[in-house]
Structure 1
Amino acid sequence: MALGPRLDIRQSQSLVMTPQLQQAIKLLTLSNLEIEAFVAGELEKNPLLEQAGGNDAPPAPDGIDRADDRPTLAAETGASDDLIAQGLGGADSPLDVDAGADIFIDDGPADRAAFDGPGGGGGMDALSGRYGEDAPDFDSFAAPDASLQEHLLDQARAALGAMDLIIAIQLIGQIDDAGYLEANLLATAHALGVPLHDVERVLGVIHGFDPTGVGARSLSECLALQAKEADRYDPCMARLLANLDLLAKGALPQLRRICGVDEEDMADMIAELRGYDPKPGLRFARTSAAPVTPDLFIRPTRDGWAIEINSATLPRILVNRSYYVELSMGRQDRTAKAWLADCLASANWLVKALDQRQKTIIKVASEILRQQEAFFRQGVAHLKPLTLRAVADAIGMHESTVSRVTSNKYLSCPRGLYELKYFFTSGVAASGGEGGAVSAEAVKSHIKALIAAEDPQAILSDDTLVDLLRAKGMDIARRTVAKYRESMGIGSSVQRRRQKALKGKAA
């Protein structure tokens, strides 16, 4: 075989992702709130796009009644892949969705009360002078709560001065969110060039600040500070706090010998400790759970179930064709005409992609509802095993499309708020060779219920849980029970026995 450069012609097939296909895939993955941010960016870039203002949106310039084009729940619609495969992305036919032609019952619970007042709408009622659902949230104007460091610094400025205040500021800056001091006192003294006893004295002052127990260097010291504040710090309590590891193990007889108390006094001391705060600084934590906005609503009706897209979080956009006609009639060069045509094609495609996204989400949610109807009616104990492939095969879509649709999407139903991914769980084989399967979430629900109802005098072991679950028709191994139990944060039978024994002593 000769070595040297040469030219060859080869024929091959490859999949090329067009910008429109990439955009459609991206829209499927985004949640409603992310869609709103994405559309806001498109409105800034494309002059032919405009946001519809509720039911007052102007009719389409081409005279077509869009009310007949609205999607229906029972309609068999294709996926985004089918739309792209048909070559409809560059078509010039508009698909401007009329904002007043929603198929959905409402935009959410807030919309059902939007027209209760005589004035209607969500703003201020012209007759009664009251605000509706869209009234300003005055709670949002409230000043944020002070952090733990700010709270401690205010007390330090009032109690200390000069060099002591500088030491206090240095120490307070090294207190974590739980209220514990992470600083080394000797290193702090060297860094500030002050004697160690001055640092210890200032720390003693900080120990008297609110909240009680702040600035402690260990759990024992934190609880000791609170015991001193409550005037319950005696030699017996000091010995108990010095042996918290034995208390955690439930070694009560050994603790009674160390502390020199009887069972009644030990129970009183344990009850006292349970009333203390092991992390006093967390009450000043500013972390708050971010609210989750549902993308879908499911609720029962007389005829079955109703599925609604949360239109309150979805922007409604239209293609301004009158503006396009006005621009195209002017004198333009070749570059301007190409740019205007590109804007029109992009606007048409975005409207179609958003409409197709809603249809795809409803189609996937409808199949999830059909497969998991027992869950919506009877609860998590009746959740069935479900895979993405099963839903994809049932609705005639690709598995990756279903995966994108269920990502970052939340569903609100009478049983609560759930991520769409929650309904896709692995299965546990049914006992007795019946050929059925039970969802892993349903098994966890049964394990949690059995442990919650167990007798404190007869704690259920993992082997006993296996027998009880098999009696319910769930063929599950002991190690699987232990894995599910640990994933729910439930301790072993030994740990639960100790905890309930301590609660019984404290009671």
Structure 2
Amino acid sequence: MSLAPRLDLRQSQSLVMTPQLQQAIRLLALSNLEIETYIAEELEKNPLLDSRGEDELPGEREAAADGEQRESLADSGELLQQGAGTGEAALDVDLSSEAFHHDSAADSIGGLDGGLGLGATGPGGMGDDGPDFDSFSAGETTLADHLLIQAGAAVAGADAFIAAHLIDQIDDAGYITAPLLDIAGRLGAPLARVEAVLAIIQTFDPTGVGARSLCECLTLQAKEADRYDPCMAALIDNLDLLARGEMARLKRICRVDDEDMADMVRELRGYDPKPGLRFGGEAMQAVVPDIFIARRGAGWAVEINGATLPRVLVNRSYYTELASGPQDKASKGWLSDCLASANWLVKALDQRQRTIVKVAGEIVKQQEAFFLKGVAHLRPLTLRQVADAIEMHESTVSRVTSNKYLSCARGTFELKYFFTSAIASADGGDAVSAEAVKSAIRALIAAEDAKKILSDDTLVEMLKAKGFDIARRTVAKYRESMGIGSSVQRRRQKAIQGAG
């Protein structure tokens, strides 16, 4: 065998993804709001990109008008009948093309926003007059700030320092999380003095703040309401019995009759077990839908929410101005790269819109019964079924349905919601969706009699009578996933409610 060096020619096949194609695929998994952030970053880096909203750049009006005339699925209202869109190969962006598809009818006033008014906003989600700063409310006062203000008026000197440290150890629910002995050791203060300062903090608003346990929190509130008598103290000391619904034993311990016990439980239920949560909570962020669905005649209209997507255009007049000036080889290469990158981004965003609309349209087609009749008619659906129907890869459909929400007449749903496993039918008919089974379980438990709580075995029999062939362990799994307790837990809860 020769060990001398030599040259050989070999031919092989390999899959190579260009950086642009990789980025285009990553764009599919981003929501509209994430895309907005990404576009803002690209606008900072590329001087040839511009976002003007309705005020299009010179030289771009003809291209945009041509895109509108070629194909606007949302405007036609017959998306499901047309079956428009290209295959997965369209992600290989053609940088030589000049005409682009118009984003959607949501770019103009009167889209499918369901009365939300998003269609009338500008590219950044604001009206023509810019942001309404009067609508921005000041940040909410946090629990710590609220307590520090009260501490400033109640204590001074070294006690103020101890109070500030104790307040720093209070969590969002209003409970102090660190042992007082550890706090006293860190501060070098006597334990009795730390306890005295904590007692002052426990008189602050909201009542119950600074407690070290649930029992102490409820005790503080009972004292504030002047209801802390020996019977109430015994009830608070035996909350575990109340949780288990052992009312007879509680009555013996508290030495009260049925009427007094019902009154005490009613009083206890009026207290706040987490008093700190009313302060400093972050404002809930409303889900912004990425897609709008609306009934249009015999079909459905599927439309991208253009209110959250800036209109990105290539500033060709600025490119012409720069290209016509004096420049060296490096500057010329940099300008060409900027133009290619800008062209690619515009076309990649356009392809993303088409792909999302195509996937959403197929979901609406497969789950039309849900949009017409409700969750009980949700069909089993997999990513592969949608991928095969629209001739795309399953991974592409998975990316498209990630972190995206659909708004329709029945509410706002994540696209992943429509993909559920199949449950066999008891009568041999078509399989049903797991979500439909969960809905049936929820309805049966909501309608159960307080004196006749339904066990999982009973639920299995009732579901079979409705046509759902499901095992007991599956019923338990679905029940737990919906946060519904077992029959024993529900019986105790009903007993507590009846006592209150």
Whether TM exceeds 0.5 here: the answer is yes
> Cα distance, 1:99 vs. partner?
7.8
Please list, as runs of the form range in 1=range in 2, the aligned pairs for 1:209-224 lying within 5 A after superposition.
209-224=204-219
Residue type matched to 1:451 in 2? I
Cα distance in structure 1, aligned partners of 2:347 and 2:466:
49
Match of 2:76 in 1: none
Match of 1:477 in 2: 471
Match of 1:348 in 2: 343
Match of 2:27 in 1: 27
Query: CA 1:352/1:145 → structure 2, altered by over 3 Å: closer, same or farther?
Result: closer
Determine whether 1:106 maps to 2:114: no
SS in 1 for 2:11: coil
Determine whether 1:494 maps to 2:488: yes
Please list, as runs of the form range in 1=range in 2, the aligned pairs for 1:314-325 lying within 5 A after superposition.
314-325=309-320
Residue type matched to 1:48 in 2? L
SS in 1 for 2:313: strand
Structure 2 residue aligned with 1:363, among 350, 358, 362?
A: 358
Please list, as runs of the form range in 1=range in 2, the aligned pairs for 1:103-252 lying within 5 A after superposition.
106=111, 108=113, 109-111=115-117, 114=120, 122-123=127-128, 136-140=132-136, 142-252=137-247
Query: CA 1:94/1:482 → structure 2, altered by over 3 Å: closer, same or farther?
Result: same
Match of 1:95 in 2: 99
Match of 2:450 in 1: 456
Structure 2 residue aligned with 1:77, among 74, 85, 91?
A: 85
In the TM superposition, what whole-angstrom CA distance separates every residue of 1:370-394 from its partner, at most 9, and x where no partner exists?
0001111111111111001000111
> Cα distance, 1:365 vs. partner?
0.7
TM-score (structure 2 length as normaliser): 0.90
Greater CA deviation, 314-323 or 147-156?
A: 314-323
SS in 2 for 1:432: coil
In the TM superposition, what whole-angstrom CA distance separates every residue of 1:123-148 from its partner, at most 9, and x where no partner exists?
56xxxxxxxxx6604241x3322211
The answer (yes or no) to whether the contact 2:104–2:303 under 8 Å persists in 1 is no
Cα distance in structure 2, aligned partners of 1:351 and 1:206:
58
Q: Which runs of 5+ in 1 are unaligned?
A: 116-120, 125-133
Determine whether 1:301 maps to 2:296: yes
Cα distance in structure 1, aligned partners of 2:375 and 2:166:
49
Determine whether 1:429 maps to 2:430: no
> Cα distance, 1:471 vs. partner?
0.9
> Cα distance, 1:444 vs. partner?
0.7
Query: CA 1:248/1:356 → structure 2, altered by over 3 Å: closer, same or farther?
Result: same
Cα distance in structure 2, aligned partners of 1:101 and 1:454:
47
Cα distance in structure 2, aligned partners of 1:113 and 1:24:
26
In the TM superposition, what whole-angstrom CA distance separates every residue of 1:416-437 from its partner, at most 9, and x where no partner exists?
1111111111111111223x21
Cα distance in structure 1, aligned partners of 2:139 and 2:189:
36
Determine whether 1:383 maps to 2:378: yes
Determine whether 1:51 maps to 2:55: no
Match of 1:129 in 2: none
Match of 2:250 in 1: 255
Cα distance in structure 2, aligned partners of 1:312 and 1:289:
20
Q: Which runs of 5+ in 2 are unaligned?
A: 74-78
Residue type matched to 1:477 in 2? A
The answer (yes or no) to whether the contact 2:64–2:100 under 8 Å persists in 1 is no
Cα distance in structure 1, aligned partners of 2:281 and 2:148:
17
Residue type matched to 2:382 in 1? T
Match of 1:68 in 2: 69
> Cα distance, 1:78 vs. partner?
0.9
Residue type matched to 1:68 in 2? Q
The answer (yes or no) to whether the contact 1:328–1:337 under 8 Å persists in 2 is yes
Greater CA deviation, 68-77 or 231-240?
A: 68-77
Query: CA 1:21/1:205 → structure 2, altered by over 3 Å: closer, same or farther?
Result: same
Residue type matched to 1:164 in 2? D
Match of 1:118 in 2: none
The answer (yes or no) to whether the contact 1:54–1:100 under 8 Å persists in 2 is no
In the TM superposition, what whole-angstrom CA distance separates every residue of 1:260-315 from its partner, at most 9, and x where no partner exists?
11111111111111111111111113222222211110111234321111111112
TM-score (structure 1 length as normaliser): 0.89
Residue type matched to 2:134 in 1? F
The answer (yes or no) to whether the contact 1:95–1:351 under 8 Å persists in 2 is no
Residue type matched to 1:468 in 2? M
Cα distance in structure 1, aligned partners of 2:308 and 2:180:
53
> Cα distance, 1:112 vs. partner?
7.9
The answer (yes or no) to whether the contact 1:428–1:440 under 8 Å persists in 2 is yes
Cα distance in structure 2, aligned partners of 1:35 and 1:176:
35
Query: CA 1:45/1:96 → structure 2, altered by over 3 Å: closer, same or farther?
Result: farther
> Cα distance, 1:245 vs. partner?
1.0
Cα distance in structure 2, aligned partners of 1:46 and 1:353:
16
Identical-pair percentage? 63
The answer (yes or no) to whether the contact 1:411–1:417 under 8 Å persists in 2 is yes
> Cα distance, 1:445 vs. partner?
0.7
In the TM superposition, what whole-angstrom CA distance separates every residue of 1:306-347 from its partner, at most 9, and x where no partner exists?
111111111212223333344444444443333333333222
Cα distance in structure 2, aligned partners of 1:429 and 1:321:
59
In the TM superposition, what whole-angstrom CA distance separates every residue of 1:446-476 from its partner, at most 9, and x where no partner exists?
1001000001111100001001111111110
SS in 2 for 1:433: coil
Residue type matched to 1:77 in 2? G
Query: CA 1:144/1:65 → structure 2, altered by over 3 Å: closer, same or farther?
Result: closer
Query: CA 1:300/1:169 → structure 2, altered by over 3 Å: closer, same or farther?
Result: same
Cα distance in structure 2, aligned partners of 1:156 and 1:83:
61
Cα distance in structure 1, aligned partners of 2:63 and 2:276:
65
Cα distance in structure 1, aligned partners of 2:32 and 2:302:
16
> Cα distance, 1:477 vs. partner?
0.4
Cα distance in structure 2, aligned partners of 1:62 and 1:228:
75
Cα distance in structure 2, aligned partners of 1:156 and 1:69:
68
The answer (yes or no) to whether the contact 1:385–1:427 under 8 Å persists in 2 is yes
The answer (yes or no) to whether the contact 1:80–1:356 under 8 Å persists in 2 is no
Instruction: Name which structure has the greater RCO, CA cutoff 8 Å, separation 6+.
Output: 2
> Cα distance, 1:192 vs. partner?
2.9
Query: CA 1:252/1:58 → structure 2, altered by over 3 Å: closer, same or farther?
Result: same
Match of 1:443 in 2: 437
Query: CA 1:336/1:71 → structure 2, altered by over 3 Å: closer, same or farther?
Result: farther
SS in 2 for 1:418: strand
Greater CA deviation, 339-348 or 377-386?
A: 339-348
Residue type matched to 1:82 in 2? A
Residue type matched to 1:318 in 2? L
Cα distance in structure 2, aligned partners of 1:243 and 1:98:
67
Cα distance in structure 1, aligned partners of 2:294 and 2:379:
20
The answer (yes or no) to whether the contact 1:179–1:213 under 8 Å persists in 2 is yes
- In the alignment of these two chains, the number of paired residues is 486
Determine whether 1:394 maps to 2:373: no
